[in-house]
Chains A and B, each alone.
Chain A
Amino acid sequence: MNTKAPLFFTLILSWMVPPIQANEVSFSRHVAPILLQRCAGCHGPKKAEGGFRLHTFQFLTTLADSGNPLIVSGQPERSELFRRLVESSVDLRMPQEDDALGSAEIDVIRQWILSGAKFDGEDEAVAYRSQLPPRNHPTAPEFYRTTIPIYALAFSPNGTQLAVGGYHEINVWDSASGQLTKRIGNLPQRIQEIAWLDEQQLVVSGGTPGEYGEVCVADISSQSRIRVIGTFTDIVMSIGLNSTKDQVVAGCADQRSRVYSVTDGKLLWEAQVHSDWVTGAKFSSDDRFVATSSRDQTVKVHEAKEGTLYTTYNGHRKQLGEFTGRFAVYDVCFHPETGEALSLGEGEAIRIWNPEKAHVENGDASDMEGRFFKKGHTRFVRFGAESPMFHIAVVLSDILISGRSGVVKSFDFSTGEPKQTFQGHDDWIFCVDGNMDATRIAAGSFNGTVIIWDALTGETCSQFKAAPGLEK
C-alpha cells in the first residue's frame, strides 16, 4: 500500500461522511480538535508538562507521570484526562493558568470516553494534527469592521470577474464596473492564492497561520466550498494549476509541497525539501516541472510527475559579482512560452533562469572551482523600487511585479526593460494579476484596497476597498 494512501482515504471519507449524529462522538472529528487547541500546547511535541503528551493517540493510552491512566474506557470519572478538566481545585484543573473548557467541550470528551474511547484515525502513532479532517469554517463577516490585507486576487479566465480574498471568504467583483457580485463564504480564514478553473469554479488556498491550511474548490453559483482537496498543518501560501487544470501544486508554510489531482483530491506526491516556509509553487507551462520558492533562499525544481528533486536554484544566494546577498524568495512562476522560471523576493532584482541550465550549472563537487568563476546564465532584472517584491505574474509579453513600495511595475519579458508603473496604492502590495488579453491589471494591498488599471495607459479604472459593508 502506498504510504500516501491513508491520508488520502481520510480525506475522501471526510467529504462523504454526512454531519455526525448527536449520539456519535468521533475522536478525529470532535475530540482531537479540542485536545489540539487546548492541551497540546503544553502537552505536545514541543513541551511535555507533567511528563506526558497527547498529540498522538498512542500517547493518550500511556500512563502519565502520576501513574494514573489518562483514559479508562467507559469510565470518565476514572480517566485522568476527564477528571483534570472538571477538577474543582484551580491548582489541579486543566488547562492550567487558562480558562476552563466549556461544558459542551467537556461533554464531548465525556461522551467519547463513555462510548468506549475509540480511535477512528489512521495511525495511532502519528500526530493527529496531520490527520485532521477539514474544518468547517465560520461564515464571513456580513459587515467588515476594518479592512484586512489582501493576500490574493485573480481575474477569471475571460477577464470579466475578479476574485479577491476576504476574511473566511472570496469576494467576486465585476472587473469592468468594480461592483461586488458574489460572496463565497465559509472558506479558510485567510485566502492566500486563487486559481480559476473556469468561470464557475476556483481553486483556493489559505488557512490559519501556525495551525491549519487548506486547498479547496469554491463554486460561484452555489456560493460555497464544494470540495476540499487537502489539509495542512500550516497555511498554504501558494498554489498553481497545470496546463490542463486537473492538477494543483500547493506550497505550505509547514515546509511541504504537495501535488493533488483537482478532480478527486488524490494526493499525487509530497516533498519536504525546503527548510522554511514554501512561499510560491507553480507548474511549468509544459507540465514537466514544478517549482517551489521558499524563505530558505532557494527555489527547488521538481519533476512534476513524481516530485523528485530535479535541481536547486541558488541564484538568490550570491557571493560574487552583481546582486550579491542572501535573500528569501517569495514567489516563482514560469514564462508560458520560453519555459524560463522567474523568481523574486528580498533583494533588488528578479531572477529569470532556465531550470535545465540551472541543473547543469549546479554540477558536482569535482568542477566546483570552475563554477565559482563562471558567470551564470541568470538574467537579472532590476525592480527599481523598494525591496522586497512579493508577487509576480506573466501576462502575454509582460512581467508584472508588486512590492513593498506600493507600486506595480511591468517589464518587457524579452528585453527586461521597464514599461509601465502603476500607481495609486500607498501600502505593501501582496498580489497582482492581469487579465487574459493584458488590458487590465489589478493589485490588492495591505490596507485592503484593490485598484484596477488600464494596462496600456496605467490609468486607474476602478478602485475600491475589498471589505463589504465597511463603513467609513
Chain B
Amino acid sequence: MFCQITFLSFLLSVMVFPASLFADSLARIEVHPQQISLQSARDRVQLVITAISKNGATQDITHDVSFRLLNPAIAKIENSVVLPRSNGKTDISIQFGQLEAILPVTVSDQSEPDPVRFQNETLAILTKQGCNAGSCHGSPQGKGGFSLSLFAYDSQIDKKALVREGFNRRTNIYDPDESLMLKKPLLRIPHVGGKRLRKADITYQILHQWIYEGAGDDPENAPRCTSIAVYPQPERILRMPHVQQQMRVLANFDDGSQRDITHLATFDTSHDEIATVDAMGQVTGTAQGQSAITVRYLEFLESVYFTVVDARKDSAWPDIPENNYVDQFVNQRLQLLKILPATTCADTIFLRRTFLDLTGLLPTAERAREFLKNTEKDKREVLIDQLLASDEFAHFQALRLADLLRINAEVMTDGRAKLFADWIALAVKSNMPFDDFARKIITARGDSHTVPATNYFMALPQTTDIAEATSQIFMGSRIQCAKCHNHPFENWTQNDYYSISAVFSRIQRSETKITISPEGDLQHPHTGQVMKPWGSETSASTTDKEPAEVDPRADFASWLTAHDNPYFARVEVNRIWKSLFGQGIVEPVDDFRSSNPPSNVALLDALADDFVQNDYDRKHIFRVVCNSQTYQRSTISAREITAVNTLFSHANVRLLTAEQLSDAIGYVTETLRPASEIPQWVDQMQGELAAVKAELQDQQLTWEETLHTRMQQAAYWHGGWWSTRPFIATDQSAAHHDIFPPEEQLDGQPADLPWDDGEMWSFEKDWEPGQTHTYEEKRPAAVYAYHPIFANRKATLRLSFVADDGMKFWHDGQVVYDRMQITDDGQNSRDIELHPGLNHLFFKASNGGGAFHFTVKMDYVKATEAAAPQLVDIAGHAAAILHTPRPQRSEIQFQLLKEYHFAVDGRIPALRKRLNLGGRFDYATQRPYPEQTDFLKAFGQPKRASACVCERVGDPTLEQALQMLNGTVMTDKVNRSVKRYLKLDDQEVVEELYLAAFSRFPQPVERNSATAHLSRSGKPREASIRDLVWAIMNTQEFMFQH
C-alpha cells in the first residue's frame, strides 16, 4: 500500500516536472514554517515550499510537491494549506522528485470554541473583497443605500450597517444563506458591484460562519493585531519559467498569539504587467521587470519586491566599462535581467545633454566648437566641473527648487519672492549642505521681508498644508490621504498625519511675520487626543526647556536630517537622478512608499549613503552621476528598446522643459545673449542707465519750465491717482472706522507719500474720475485713494460716490463725507470749495465682504469752470514742487523732482527692472520665477499651486506644435535671428546654426542641402535664412534632449 502511494506520487512528480530540470542542480527543499501547531478548529497554515539549488537559487514549489500525511485523521491538506481534523500529532512528508522534507504537525483544542472575530476577520474580508473601497460602499454616500466605513476604519459604523440598519435587512442569523450581504456578492440577486464571492471561498465561509454565530461584535478582550509578517521577505527573484511564488502572512496579536491570515490579507501588485497576485497570495510573474506585492491586513501593510527574470539563452555579459559605483549597481541589475546597456554617447550628445541638465541652456556655437575640437582625455570630467561651478548651474537649480518651494511673486509680494529666490540661488551656488538648507527652511521664523526662508510658509495657509508640502518635498511622501483615513497603500496612518501636522501647529503668522506660539497643540479630529509632534520622541531637547521655548519644528528637522532617516537623503538623490535621467529610481519622485519600489534598491541606497557621507553635498552627487558611464550612455539601447527604461540601460530621449526650450530658441536666434556675457551686459546696461540719467539731468531745467508754463495756463489741473491695496478688517464697521497705517498721513503733505512703487501707495496711471474700481478681496476690507487737484482760482467741485458699502472722504485733512452705507437716496454727493493752490483729496472705501467696488465722480458745478483746460499727467507732489520757486526748494524736493523726471521717462524703469534681476531678466531657465507666458505654459510650466512634481506636465500637446510652427514667440524670434546670420556667408550660417542648435557640425549632406537653399535665386537671402532657422528649430533633434 505505502509502496503504491510512494510510487504514484513519484510518478506524478515525474510527470509534472521533467526530472532534467532539477536533477542536477537541486540541493534541498525548505518548508516554511518548519513546524505547525493548529490550535483551534478554524486554524489553518499556508505552506510555502522552496527548492534551493546547489548555487543557492530559489524556486517556489509549493503547489508542485506531493504531500503525504502519516496520520490523515489528525490533519488534512487542501491547496497547500494545512487544516486540522482532530487533536494529536503527526508528520507530513513533503516530496519533490528525490527530495523529501518532514513537517511535524500538532493539533490541539479542537473542541474549544473559536468564534469568528468581527474586526480581525469579518471586516478584513470586506476589505479583501473590495466591499468598502472608495468606489463602492466605502464612498461617503455608500452605494445603493448601503454605506460602510472606508477600508473599515470605523467598526461601529460597519457593525450597524451590516446588522442593524434597515431593520436587520442585510443579515439573517437564522439562515445565513438568506443574508442579503451574501446573496448580493454571490450574485444570487442583481448586484452592481458584480460577483465578489464564491461559495467555495474561505472568505465566504467565514462570513457565513460569522452570521451563523449571531453576527455579533467582538468581546472587549478580543485580541488586537499588533503587526503582520510576510514570507518571503524582503525580495524574491522569479526566473522564468518558474514564475510562481506562494506567499504566507502571519498576524501577531496583543495576547501573544499568532495566526496565519493569508486568507484574510489583501494582495496588490504595483505593476500588474510584470507580476500578478491572486486572493490567496499566489504571485505569478508575467514579464521581465520588477513589481512590489503589497500585503494589507487591517491597518498593517508590508511589501515584498519581486524581480521577474526572462529566460534567455544568451547570457554572455561583455566587459562594460564602469566609471564608479553608480555603474556597478546599475550593471548588476542589468546583468541579472540580461539587458545589455547602450554604448557611450558621442561628445556632441554628451555636451548638449550635460549643458541642458546642469544649466538648462544650450552650449553656444563657440563653446561647442571648442569642446568638440578638444582632444584631452578628461575633457568630459572637466566640463562637468566647469558647469557645476557656473552661475548658470546655480540659477537653474534654484528654478527647480523654486518650483518645489512654490516661489510666487503674487503671494510673496513686496520683493519677498526675489528675496527668497536669491537666498536659494546663493545656497545652491555656495553648495549649502542640503540638511542645512532643509533645516533653515523648516525652522524659519521672523519677518518675511528680512528672513528669506520664512517665505516658505507664505504659500501654505493651513497647518495641514505645511505638513503635506513638507512631507512631499523632503520625505517624498504624499500623506494627504491619511488626513481622513489610514492610507490603503502606505504605512502613513491618520495618527502620523496629525502628528506631523502638530509639528507646525504652533506657527503663528501675521501679515508678513512667522512666529512660534508657546501654545497651539493639535488634536486628532476623531479621537480628540492631543498629538505629539512628529520627531519629538527622538529628541531630548524638549524635556529640559520651558514649553514656551519649544519649537517642535527643530526636533522634526533633527529627525528629518538624521543620518539614518529613511527618506531625506534618498528623496533628494532621487530628485537629482530624475533631473539627469528624466526618470527617477523611484517614480514619481515624491511618492516614496513601500508599495512603490525603487527600480534599483542598491543603487538608491548607495547614492543616499554617499550623500550622507559627504555632508549632503548636492554637487557631489551631481558630479558622481554625471561622471558615470550610465549617465554618458547613448539613447540607443544595445539589444532592444524597452518601453520603460527603468533600469537605465540607455539614456532617455526627453522633450526640453518649457524653460529650456524657450532659452534654446533664444540662443539659436541670438535674441538671447549667451549667459556668459551677463556680467558684461549688466555693465552695459548700467552704462546706459547712467547715460539716460545724464541726458535727463541736462534737460532738467527745460523740462521744468515747459511743465510750469503749462500749469500756469491751466485754471486747475488734476494730479494722478494713488491707491493702496485692501486692508483686511474683522467686519465692515472696523474697516470703516479703524485707522489703518496710512490714515495718519492723510493730512500730511502729499510729498511725504512714497510715490513710486513702494510699500503702501501705488500710482494708478489708468485711473480717471468716474471710473469704477473693483477689488477681488471678498473679506471685509478698506482701501484708500489719493488724488490731488491744483487750482489757479476758486471753484466748486461736486463729488458723487457709489460704493457697495461705505465711503469716507477728506479734503485737506478734514472729513467732509462719512457714510457706512451708501444708498441711492440723494445723500451720496458732496460739494467742496477748491481753494487756489494744492487741494488734497483722500478717499476711503470700506466693504463688509463680498463684491467690492467704488466709484468717485467729479463735476465742476459751473459749466465755465469745467471748460477750463486741465492737466492730468503730473503727479500732485511734483506739481507742488514746481510751484515752489527754485531758490525756496529744499534738497529733498530737488531730489524728488529729479526722481519724478526719471520715472516719467519710460527708459529708466525698464532698465532698472532688468538690472534688478541681475541681467537674467530675459531668460527662463535663469530666473527663479519666470513669468507665466502662453509659450511656457504650453510646454508644461508649473503653476506652483502645489508641491507635487505632477504640476510640470510633459505630455506632447497640439498647442506645443502650434507654438513651434507659427506661434508669436517663434515668429518674432525667427525674424530677429536674421540680424545674426545675415552677416555670415552660407557655409558659416549652416555651421553656426548646427552648432548652436544641435551642438554638432553639419554632415555633408545637410551642409549641401542647406547651402543650396540659401543660395537659391529668386528669394531674398533674409527669407531663406528665416526658413532655415525655423526648420532647424522644428526638428526633433532640437526639441528633444538626447
**Residues of A that sit less than 8 Å from B by CB:** 37-38, 40-42, 44-47, 95, 97-99, 141, 144-146, 148-149, 151, 167, 189, 192, 208-211, 235, 237, 253, 276-277, 295, 390, 428, 430, 446
Q: Please tell me if the beta carbons of A145 and B174 are within 8 angstroms of each other in the complex.
A: yes
* Chain A residues near B169 (CB-CB < 8 A): 209-210, 235, 253
Contact A47 B192, beta carbon cutoff 8 Å: yes
B914 at the interface (CB under 8 A from A): no
Bound-complex Cα distance A98 to B194 (A) = 13
Q: Is B518 in contact with chain A by the CB < 8 A criterion?
A: no
Picked from B167, B172, B175, the residue with its CB within 8 Å of the CB of A430 is B167
Contacts of B172 in A (CB 8 A): 189
Told that A37-B188, A97-B198, A146-B214 touch, could you supply 6 new A-B pairs with CB distance under 8 A? A41-B187, A41-B188, A41-B190, A41-B195, A98-B199, A446-B164
Is B170 an interface position by the 8 A CB rule?
A: yes
Flag if A46 contacts B173 (CB, 8 Å). Answer: no
* Bound CA–CA A210/B998 (angstroms): 70
If A144-B174, A146-B174 touch, whether A46 touches B164 (CB-CB below 8 Å) is no
Chain B residues with Cβ below 8 Å from A209 are 166, 169-170, 180
Nearest to A141 among chain B residues (CB) is B174
Contact with A along B144-168 (1 / 0, CB 8 A): 0100000000000000000010111
- Taking the nearest CB of chain A, how far is it from the CB of B135, in angstroms? 16
B191 proximal to A (CB < 8 A): yes
Nearest to B170 among chain A residues (CB) is A209
Chain B residues near A210 (CB-CB < 8 A): 169, 180, 183-184, 189
In the complex, chain A residues whose CB is within 8 Å of the CB of B192: 46-47
Docked CA distance A390–B166 (Å): 10
Q: Is B731 an interface residue (CB 8 A)?
A: no
Instruction: Across the A-B interface, give the 8 residue pairs with the lowest CB-CB distance, nearest first.
Output: A41-B187, A209-B169, A46-B190, A44-B190, A210-B180, A209-B180, A149-B168, A148-B174
> B186-220: which residues lie under 8 A (CB-CB) from chain A?
186-192, 194-195, 198-199, 214
The answer to whether B178 has its CB under 8 Å from any CB of chain A is: yes
Residue contacts A-B, CB under 8 angstroms, 16 given: A38-B188, A41-B187, A41-B191, A41-B195, A42-B195, A95-B187, A97-B195, A98-B186, A146-B173, A149-B167, A167-B175, A209-B166, A210-B189, A235-B169, A277-B145, A428-B164
Chain B min CB distance to A93 (Å)? 14
> Do the beta carbons of B199 and A99 come within 8 Å of each other?
yes
- Report if A208-B178 is in contact (Cβ < 8 Å); known contacts: A41-B191, A46-B191: yes
Partner of A40, one of B166, B170, B178, B190: B190
B interface: dominant SS: loop
- Chain A: minimal CB distance from B213 (Å): 9
B interface residues (Cβ-Cβ under 8 A, vs A): 145, 164, 166-170, 172-175, 178, 180, 183-184, 186-192, 194-195, 198-199, 214
Q: With A98-B198, A148-B173 in contact, do A211 and B167 touch (Cβ < 8 Å)? A: no
Contacts of B187 in A (CB 8 A): 41-42, 95, 98
Residue of A nearest to B185 (CB): A41
Q: In the complex, which of the residues A44, A146, A276, A428 contacts B145, with contact meaning CB atoms closer than 8 Å?
A: A276
Q: How far is the CA of A208 from the CA of B199 in the complex (A)?
A: 20
A38–B186 CA distance with the chains assembled, in angstroms: 10
A99 contacts across to B, CB distance below 8 A: 199
A47-B192 Cα distance, complex, nearest whole Å: 7
A-B contact count (CB 8 A): 75
Residues of A within 8 A of B175 (CB): 167
B390 → chain A, closest Cβ, in Å?
63
Residues of chain A with a CB closer than 8 A to B186's CB: 41, 98
| Complex alpha-carbon distance, A46 and B187, angstroms | 11
Which chain B residue shows the least CB distance to A99?
Answer: B199
**Closest CB in chain B relative to A239 CB, distance in Å:** 14
Return chain A residues, CB-CB under 8 Å to B190. Answer: 40-41, 44-47
When distances are taken between beta carbons in the complex, the residues of chain B under 8 Å from A98 are 186-187, 195, 198-199
With a cutoff of 8 Å between Cβ atoms, the chain A residues found around residue B145 in the complex are 276-277, 295
Cβ contacts under 8 Å, A237 to chain B: 167
In the complex formed, the residue of B with least CB distance to A192 is B167
- CA A141 to CA B170, docked complex, whole Å: 21
Q: Looking across the interface, which residue of chain B has its beta carbon closest to that of A233?
A: B189
Residue of B nearest to A296 (CB): B145
Considering the chains assembled together, what is the distance between the CA atoms of A95 and B198 in angstroms?
11
Shortest distance between the CB of B193 and any CB in chain A (Å) = 9
Alpha-carbon distance between A295 and B187 when the two chains are bound, in angstroms: 25
**Chain A's nearest CB lies how many Å from the CB of B28?**
37
Report whether A211 and B189 are in contact in the complex, using a CB–CB cutoff of 8 Å: yes
Q: Which chain B residue lies CB-closest to A234?
A: B169
Asked if A47 contacts B214 (CB within 8 A), the reply is no
On chain A, the residues within 8 Å of B189 by CB distance are: 37, 40-41, 210-211
Given known contacts A235-B169, A446-B164, A189 and B178 CB-to-CB distance under 8 angstroms: yes
Tell whether, in the assembled complex, residue B194 and residue A47 are in contact, meaning their CB atoms are under 8 Å apart. Answer: yes
CA distance A158 to B166 in the complex (A): 31
Q: What chain B residues lie within 8 Å of A208 (beta carbons)? A: 178
| Minimum Cβ distance to chain B for residue A47 (Å) | 6
Residue of A nearest to B145 (CB): A276
Residues of chain B within 8 A of A38, CB atoms compared: 188
Give Cα A97–Cα B184 distance, bound, in whole angstroms. Answer: 14
Interface core residue of B145, B186, B188, B198 (most chain A CB under 10 Å): B188
- The complex places the Cα of A446 from the Cα of B173 at a distance, in Å, of 11
Chain B residues lying within 8 Å of A40, measured Cβ to Cβ, are 189-190
Q: How far is the CB of A29 from chain B (nearest CB, A)?
A: 19
Question: Which residues of the partner chain A approach B174 to less than 8 Å between Cβ atoms?
Answer: 141, 144-146, 148, 167
The answer for the CA separation of A185 and B166 in the assembled complex, in Å, is: 24
Minimum C-beta distance from B301 to chain A (A): 29
Asked if A446 and B168 sit within 8 Å, CB to CB, the answer is yes
Q: B191 — which chain A residues lie within 8 A by C-beta?
A: 41, 46
Is the beta-carbon distance between B178 and A277 smaller than 8 angstroms?
no
> What is the distance, in angstroms, from A101's C-beta to the closest C-beta of chain B?
13
* B728 smallest CB distance to A (angstroms): 30
In the complex, which residue of chain B has the Cβ closest to the Cβ of A145? B174
The answer for the CA separation of A219 and B164 in the assembled complex, in Å, is 31
B residues within 8 A CB of A446? 164, 168
Which residue, of A148, A151, A210, A446, has the highest number of chain B Cβ atoms within 10 A? Answer: A210
A277, B170: Cα distance in complex, Å: 14
Set of chain B residues within 8 Å of A390, measured between Cβ atoms: 167
Chain B residues with Cβ under 8 A from A46's Cβ? 190-192
A348 to chain B, nearest CB (A): 18
Q: Closest CB-CB distance, A290 to chain B, in whole Å?
A: 21
A149–B190 CA distance with the chains assembled, in angstroms: 26
- Please give, as numbers and ranges, the residues of chain A lying within 8 Å of B166 by CB-CB distance: 209, 253, 277, 295
Please name the residue on chain B nearest to A447 by beta carbon: B214
Enumerate chain B residues within 8 angstroms of A192, measured Cβ to Cβ.
Answer: 167
- Residues of chain B contacted by A97 (CB below 8 angstroms): 195, 198
Residues of B within 8 A of A145 (CB): 174
- A277 CA to B180 CA, complexed, in Å: 15
- Report chain B residues within 8 Å CB of A37: 188-189
Query: Complex: how many Å from CA A199 to CA B191?
Result: 42
**Closest residue to B169 on the A side, CB-wise?**
A209
CB-CB under 8 A from B184, the residues of chain A are 210
* Residue of B with least CB distance to A38: B188
Bound state CA distance, A144 and B175, in angstroms?
11
Residue in chain A with minimal CB distance to B213 = A146
Alpha-carbon distance A237/B172, docked complex (angstroms): 16
A281 to B194, CA, bound (A): 33
Minimum distance in angstroms from A171 CB to a CB of chain B: 14
What is the minimal beta-carbon distance from B652 to any residue of chain A, in angstroms? 42
Bound CA span A145–B191, Å: 30
Complex Cα–Cα for A148 and B184 (A): 21
Q: Say whether, besides A98-B198, A146-B174, A295-B145, A151 and B167 are in contact (CB < 8 Å).
A: yes
Q: How far is the CA of A149 from the CA of B183 in the complex (A)?
A: 20
A390 to B167, CA, bound (A): 9
In the bound complex, residues from chain A placing their C-beta under 8 Å from that of B173 are: 146, 148
Shortest Cβ distance from A390 into B: residue: B167
Candidate in A211, A295, A390, A430 with the most chain B CB atoms within 10 angstroms: A211
Give every chain A residue within 8 A of B167 (Cβ-Cβ): 149, 151, 192, 237, 390, 430
